[in-house]
Amino acid sequence: MKKFLLHLFSFLMLLLLFYGFLWGRYIIKANNFDFKLAKEKTILVIGDSQTQAAVDDEMLKNVQNISMSHDGYFTMLTRLRLYVEANPQIDTVLIALSPHTLAPHKDEFYANFGYMGESTKFYLPFFSFSEWAFMIKHDAADVLSYLVTPISFYWDVNDEYREKNYGFFEVVDESHLEEDVKEGATRLKTFAADSEELAKEDSQLASFSNTITRAQLRELKQYCDAKKIKLIGLNTPVYQAEHYLNIKNFNHLMSEEFQDIELWDYMDLEIADSCRRDVNHLNRNGATLFSKILAERLLQ
């Protein structure tokens, strides 16, 4: 029995050493990633899929789009720090700020780190103790799943694949707005302001506190202030936004809590349906048009 336990212990120690080797390799490779941008890149665009698909940084020589699909303010702040530390020339940040990013139930969405796991796992070596504590507090099960992520991820982290998880411009050419409208844009329905839910939210706005989301956005603002970086909220075009998003809740939060963040609001920008990928994203035609509009404003 003792011999069996000794063999078992030895086997477990070998597994632990191998796992430690994989983690060490992952951490070294992650820290070797170069976040350095060209010197002319003084403006960052950071956000979720809406800004990712809307701002073509190839058209804007002083802008770098580091948005990521499904991203929340938690990982946005981590990514922002990494880029700012590597690029002291950055003086302006345009951040996704919309009825979608501040939707009444967004805490439930962003606190579920499993949903954002594909991007969050790339930041594990960069998280501070407080950030790890935050994740464990809100979703310990998913944090554990990160620690047992398939070995292949740690073994083969190629630069091209990883770079796409530190933010980039991504857009599609086609438009499937009509199909999205017919299907009811179901991905937004959790946060949509349909008649019954809207009536409830209008009478109980205070109950939808979004403590996590609001605190993280405030932390982003404080970080930019400390670095003397101008933070601007960017609200990109949405098709018939009042039908899919709670505009009243957004306006309430902006006027009551985030009035110190300048907002560039293009949600109701009149553009052709052919410029939209779906209800809340632009396609390539839309991104080209919107990027031109953004370029003119940035020049001012």
Report residue 34 CA to chain centroid gap.
20
The rounded distance, in Å, linking the Cα atoms of 186 and 174 is: 20
Say yes or no to pLDDT of 133 above 80.
yes
pLDDT at position 183: 83
Average pLDDT over residues 219-238: 97
58-79 pLDDT per residue, tens: 999 999 999 988 888 988 999 9
85-130 pLDDT per residue, tens: 999 999 999 999 999 898 877 777 666 655 555 667 777 788 888 8
Residue whose C-alpha is closest to residue 72's, from 29, 22, 31, 106: 106
Name every residue whose Cβ is closer than 8 Å to that of residue 109 and which is 6 or more positions away in sequence: 72, 103, 115, 190, 191
**Radius of gyration, alpha carbons of the chain:** 21
The rounded distance, in Å, linking the Cα atoms of 145 and 255 is: 39
Sorted by where each begins, the domain ranges of the chain are: 20-25+46-299
Tokens 């981590």 belong to residue? 78
44-56 pLDDT per residue, tens: 999 999 999 999 9
Say yes or no to pLDDT of 205 above 50.
no
Residue whose C-alpha is closest to residue 48's, from 99, 101, 122: 101
The mean-pLDDT minimum among 43-52, 108-117, 206-215, 287-296 falls in: 108-117
HEC letters along 22-37: HHHHHHHHHHCCCCCC
HEC letters along 102-171: CCCCHHHHHCCCCCCHHHHHHHHHHCCHHHHHHHHHHHHHHHHHHHCCCHHHHHCCCHHHHHCCCCCCCC
The rounded distance, in Å, linking the Cα atoms of 149 and 115 is: 14
Name the maximum alpha-carbon separation found in the chain: 78
The rounded distance, in Å, linking the Cα atoms of 145 and 121 is: 10
Looking at per-residue pLDDT, the higher value among 251 and 211 belongs to 251
Helices (H), 231-283: 241-244, 247-256
4-27 pLDDT per residue, tens: 777 777 888 887 887 777 777 777
